[in-house]
Chains A and B, each alone.
Chain A
């Protein structure tokens, strides 16, 4: 309790407005210099996706025809490379492009409203659950579905139920099948089971979701394995592992973004009278960064800069690394906690949260008060 108490300094209205103005000035400075360099960067990312995909699939298919020791080596390398390709496609390319970060380029293949990615979920549903709900209502109970995805109880403010005792197990299953969880997130199946949603109204939403799932399944588990002929199983299992690797990695990165120990969550009443500056503070206090270098930034789709991403969701992610020191300095001067740490440290906090809140827990009074004061 004493720890959270000292994290933030109370912000007066004027300070709050000045903080907001500084954040906006940083955004304008950055956007004014977008150009060739950023275009080259995102095209190189797209190239990395295509080349690693080709290499990964070639290794899996070619390896199937080699003697056993080579087969194992090729299978392993192929699955890892294809997994890497899917990770880059989903994170540094897909997630960022779908945010419209590169819309200013006018390239039809990098258009946020039309981009489709190599994952089971449709980009259309993602735009709704993620771009709109999660980014607008970040960490607000009842509005941000990403807080546990309706599967996990991660905050004491969420209602405890006996089944939550087993959630460390669900969490592992959820990690392994993360792309499928994301794919059906917008269908809100829980509401259907509770009878608050009618099957009829859900049917129309199911069609595109089902089509995308089918396409992904046919591609990875029928077409490419069949192309390998007798190597069917090698390719099939390699693709399964590649998809699994991507699932676990994206799950890890995303969970580190909002479920570390010191993040603040907010009650529904927050949105009623929130100013833009308060919105910025909520984004900062609801997010947590991962410290690391270019490799972690690249592999996490720059979600290692979760705070910067939440302040500037439509600014090209390759700029976050150079914006981060400025944001951090602003936070230091205004006394707003800037939550960052290494991947093991942040993920350990997430794991603790999953375990701790599988048991009944109650919000600490001080924390609630702080959350209310911060808004």
Chain B
């Protein structure tokens, strides 16, 4: 993604000339005194509006700086903010359609114990500056959407569909669109007013909310063959429908099992908390290490330190002390959970510096190697 953006946006002549003489850190330091979002090379954005969407859910409208490359409806972006001195990065869907003024929006639901979501929902204010990655995600709309589309969302899985629905509404709703959202209570349902307004304006758009805890808790209203049939009709009638689902892993898996065999196409995006099988008693398991820079994926076991394991796969990694002191082998862990072998501490954050010689993988990892 970064290489393509480099190709489409060549460095201007003055940038190429000035580059060897500019220290990005010095530039950012002084530029930040004038405008906190000015940066030599980093994508930063200022919070310009904050809207309460539902209980524990806010939409933050952001004004990115010139490094932002834009996005497709349905895509996500990595958002970073500093919480107690640490930069925390999480992916959020861009919830608005692309706008003429270049502003973007993320809708954040506060997650129990979630460090960034708690910060963004409770403490982020207009004027705050957040760091952004590049937009990513495959669940986007084609240039000319046709026929029938079905969006299934659970909880905060609604956010990519907010953006796609708004984008389709802006095109005059060229398709028959059904958006079904599962939530526990009405109060937790995000952006209801906006969606109902679109439904009123565009007869081809239908919006259904399924509440699993109102008026009383009722497990039968969770996603399943009956609930789906009640809102979408029999699955056999979905032959011309492009189905998209977003929510927790089990939600997407159920939707896939029930609808993928019938629909014209099915694409799902799942988010699931990582479950670690803890303790020394757990058997050794194989994990996949994705090496982003070399484009390789290797399989290693989760007991051995990453450095010798990767070296055994033929990688040549700069190393020094091999005992966790000199940090020569430190590399960025983009995602996944690693464990420090000297302290036993778990590193669950994205975009952290990992000492390969004294860390073992606990889940699949993506490394900057």
Contact = CB atoms under 8 A, between A and B. Distances in A.
B45 to A, nearest CB: 16
Nearest to B319: A132
Contact of A127 (B328, B331, B352): B328
B30 interface: yes
A34 to B, nearest CB: 7
Nearest to A313: B325
Contact of A131 (B21, B23, B327): B327
A106 B330 contact: no
Given A34-B85, A35-B85, A106 B327 contact: no
Nearest to B29: A50
A109 interface: yes
Interface string B219-248: 000000000000000000000000000000
Contacts of A37: 85
Given A136-B320, A136-B321, A104 B86 contact: yes
Interface string A31-51: 100111111100000110010
B194 interface: no
A105 B86 contact: yes
A34 B326 CA distance: 20
Contact of B326 (A35, A111, A136): A136
Contacts of B343: 28, 31
A314 interface: yes
A113 interface: yes
A34 B343 CA distance: 15
Nearest to A47: B29
Range of interface residues on chain A? 35 or more
B82 interface: yes
Interface residues on B, range: 20 to 34
Nearest to A130: B326
Interface string A172-208: 0000000000000000000000000000000000000
Contact of A109 (B28, B80, B85, B342): B28
A223 B9 CA distance: 30
A38 B85 contact: yes
Interface in B324-369: 325-328, 330-331, 342-343, 349, 351-353
Interface string B14-57: 00000011011110111000000000001000000000000000
Nearest to B131: A108
Interface in A120-171: 127-128, 131-133, 135-136
A183 to B, nearest CB: 18
B126 interface: no
Contacts of A308: none
A313 B351 CA distance: 22
B184 interface: no
Best-surrounded residue of A39, A132, A313 (most CB of chain B within 10 A):
A132
B327 A100 contact: yes
Contacts of A92: none
A99 B330 CA distance: 11
B328 A109 contact: no
Contact of A36 (B85, B89, B328, B330): B85
Given A50-B29, A100-B327, A136-B320, A116 B23 contact: yes
A107 interface: yes
Nearest to A136: B321
Contact of A106 (B26, B80, B320, B323): B80
Nearest to A312: B325
Contact of B87 (A105, A132, A314): A105
Nearest to A137: B321
B278 interface: no
B101 interface: no
Nearest to A109: B25
B26 A50 contact: yes
Given A112-B327, A127-B328, A39 B29 contact: no
Interface string B83-107: 0111111000000000000000000
Contacts of B325: 131, 135-136, 313-314
Contact of A128 (B21, B29, B328, B342): B328
Given A128-B328, A132-B321, A136-B323, A35 B352 contact: no
A109 B82 CA distance: 14
A111 B353 contact: yes
B82 A39 contact: yes
A263 B320 CA distance: 25
Given A111-B353, A112-B330, A113-B327, A46 B86 contact: no
A373 B328 CA distance: 31
A17 interface: no
Nearest to A101: B327
B328 A131 contact: yes
B326 to A, nearest CB: 4
Interface string A226-268: 0000000000000000000000000000000000000000000
B243 to A, nearest CB: 38
A50 B30 contact: yes
A8 interface: no
Contacts of B42: 108
A106 B87 contact: yes
Given A34-B85, A35-B85, A107-B87, A46 B29 contact: yes
A22 interface: no
A153 to B, nearest CB: 27
Given A50-B30, A103-B330, A35 B87 contact: no
Given A111-B353, A132-B320, A35 B327 contact: no
A38 B30 CA distance: 22
Contacts of A132: 320-321, 326, 328
Interface of B: 20-21, 23-26, 28-30, 42, 80, 82, 84-89, 320-321, 323, 325-328, 330-331, 342-343, 349, 351-353
11 contacts: A28-B343, A46-B29, A100-B327, A112-B353, A115-B25, A127-B327, A127-B328, A128-B328, A131-B325, A131-B328, A313-B326
- 10 closest A-B pairs (Cβ-Cβ)? A132-B320, A106-B87, A39-B85, A136-B321, A132-B326, A103-B353, A100-B327, A35-B84, A131-B326, A109-B25
Given A105-B82, A113-B330, A314-B325, 15 more contacts: A46-B29, A50-B26, A100-B330, A103-B353, A105-B85, A105-B86, A106-B349, A106-B351, A107-B87, A109-B25, A112-B327, A127-B327, A131-B320, A135-B321, A279-B323
